[in-house]
Each structure stands twice: as structure tokens, then as C-alpha cells.
Amino acid sequence: MAKILLGVTGSIAAYRACDIARELMREGHSVQAVLTRAATRLISPDTFAALTGNPVVVDVFDEPVPGQIAHIRLAQEADLALIAPATAHTIARLALGLADDMLTTLALATRAPILIAPAMNPAMWSHPATQAHVATLRERGVVFIEPAYGIMACGDEGWGKLADTPTIVQAVALHLRHASDLQGVHVLITAGPTYEPIDPVRFVGNRSSGKMGYALAEAALAHGATVTLITGPTALTPPAGATVIRVQTAQQMYEAVQAHFDACDVFIAAAAVADYRPERALPRKRKRTGEAWTLRLVPNPDILASVAARKGDRFVVGFAAETDKALQHAQAKLSGKNLDLIAANNVLEPGSGFEVDTNRLTLLYADGRIEELPLMSKRACAERIIEVVAEHLRQRRGA
């Protein structure tokens, strides 16, 4: 099977890397453990040597095989690198491109996919510095196995707990299996809000951050797809490898989708497109007068309906962000717009909606199936949707 580099850092969860190593080996993989100096304060390298049957490396000058440069040999031989647990300090060093120990040197030298499972105090995980480093690494193609919610060793509660072993092992298996399952497939994704100008300084918009659409682009790329991301205004950095088209208004997004739809195999409409726009945008800022101002709104084009009507063999996914009767409205949209799948959520539920990192989706399929997803990160939601896309395409190829 695969040769896996298992990086272990100085987190109190370091002991759990033993279970991760054992389960990876049960899957048939070869595991090479690489520990940081801090990790050796918590668990002995001899433990991993006994578990894996391979000598453990810690220092950049460790050379288990005489005459071979370990950090180059191991980096080139690896099929995948997994860092679990990963501390905030190690994530920062990786983001900065430092190579001051064996683990960071290997990470810099390898061309294998890198998966990171963070483990740290919730305040450290949510700190802007940590999130900036995570964003940098994601931009470079690193895949994060999101931390879980729980009570930490220090007694604090929140997001930051190392994901459970089955989740980590499954993420490795999925990455190894799905790294090319969308090879040759062109996925077109819309993301973010649209801004409909009232005058040069005001607009009609919504609270969409674009996080769901960007997560979908990241997941599709991880599965080997070619991705075109049409994005409204956001503060997000697009995932590396995506072709990005930036728009402001619904009309611009409509035109961009029309121009690229024929070339795609899958279309995912994750953008929160404004349904209405001001009938006329003023050429100059309207000054305050103290009088009432009536703004006339007119409908924007229905992007999803316009392309789904001519979808042919394409797989088309929609989203329904609702405040009431979410399933009822989503079902009507699914059938009325000729979709293959729709993801529905109630944006009034805590953690499910705009400007947050999590979501609680219900997937409605064209064949009548309904799949409830628990509250999870938007990246995890995106992974499930892309898995559904891949499953559909596999079935179609096999038919």
C-alpha cells in the first residue's frame, strides 16, 4: 500500500499517534514516524520504532541508513505525509517554510500530499495568527483534518481537540483513494455574495462570506478535478490551482456562468446571488436630505435555472439557504429547477449559515433520498458533497 510519513509534535495528544500508526498499518500502509524534540518529552521514539518496525528520526542529522541523506530519501519515498497531532507552533513553522528539525525539513522537501490534524487549546486554534497560518498552508494545497469540539486537558472547552482516530485514518484513506477520482473532470463553482450597486458607495447585498463555495473548490481540487471558481466579493484567498473569475453583480456572475457552463462536467451553485437589484444605479452618491427614499428593485436573472434547463449529462448542485420550511422550499427548488442535488440549511440555526466556519446541511437527491449531515465544518460538508459528485460520475461511467 502507501508509504506514510507520520509527524508527531509536542501536543498532549501525542500518545494518540500510536493508535493512528497502528490503524494505518492495519490498513496495509508502511509508517515512518518523525518526532519533534518536544514530542519526545511526551512519548518515546522507541515506542513508535516498536510499533512500526522502522527507525524513528528526530534530528535533521539522524541517518538511519548509512550513506543516504535521510531527509531527502524519506521525502522522496513518501506517498503521503500526515502530521497528527500538529501544534500551533509546528503549523506556524510550516507556514513560514522553516526547516529547523527533521519534520519541517521533510515537509519542505517532499512533494507528497500533506495532511495536518491540529490539536491545541481552543483560544490558540481560533487565534488570528494560527488561522492565518492555516490559510497559508491551505493555499499551498495542504489538507487539514478539522479539530473536534471537546474538553481539553487544561479543562477548557471548544474547537481544538485532535480528531478521533477513525476520522484521521479515514481522511488518509479518502485522500489516497480520491486524489485522482475526479481527474479530467471540470467543476464549475460559484461562491460568495453579489453586490448590486445603489450608487458608487452603496449596494444591496447579503451576509455570505464565500466560505462554503471556497471549501467546495478546495475539496474538488483535492479529488483531482479541474476547478473554475466564479466568486463574488469576499476576503478569502482562493485555493491554489483553481481558475478564479471575480465578479461583483448578479448580472456579471450570470454572464460568467453562461460563458463557462458548456465546458464543465459539474456545476455547483454555492453563491448567495441577490434575487433583486436596484432598477437604476445612481451615477453619484445620493446625499442625505432628511426625506424618505423609495428604492425600486427589479429581479435579477436566475442563474441556476437558466443553466440547469440545458444541463444535458452535467451534474448540477444547488443550495437553499432558508429561514423557515427549509426542506419544503429546497424540495420545490430541486424539482422546479431540474437539479440533481440540493443542499439545504436554516441560516437561523446556531453555527449554520453565513459568516461562520460550520454548517448543518440536509442533502436532497433527485431520486427522493434525503441525507442529514450533522453540524460540521464547511470543509467537511464540502467533502461530502464532492464525494456524492464522484459517486455519481463513477456510476455513470460504469453504466
> Which residue, 162, 177, 176, 173, is CA-closest to 17?
162
Query: In angstroms, rounded to a whole number, what is the distance separating the alpha carbons of residues 10 and 24?
Result: 21
Q: Which residues contact 332 (CB under 8 A, 6 or more apart)?
A: none
- How far CA 319 is from CA of 102, 272, 326, 367, in Å, comes to 45, 9, 11, 17
- Which residues 6+ apart lie within 8 Å of 67 measured at CB? none
Amino acid 305 reads: A
Catalytic residue among 18, 154, 264, 381: 154
Please state, in angstroms and rounded to a whole number, the distance separating the CA atoms of residues 243 and 245: 7
Active site residue 264: no
Q: Residue 34: CA atoms inside 13 Å, Cβ hemisphere, count?
A: 26
The bridge status of strand 196-199 relative to strand 202-204 is: antiparallel
Q: Which H/E stretch holds residue 329?
A: helix 326-336
**CA angle, 244 as apex, 238 and 246 as ends, to 5°?**
100
Q: Identify the DSSP state of 272.
A: B
3-state secondary structure of 293: coil
Q: How far apart are CA 202 and CA 16, in angstroms?
A: 52
Known catalytic residues are 154
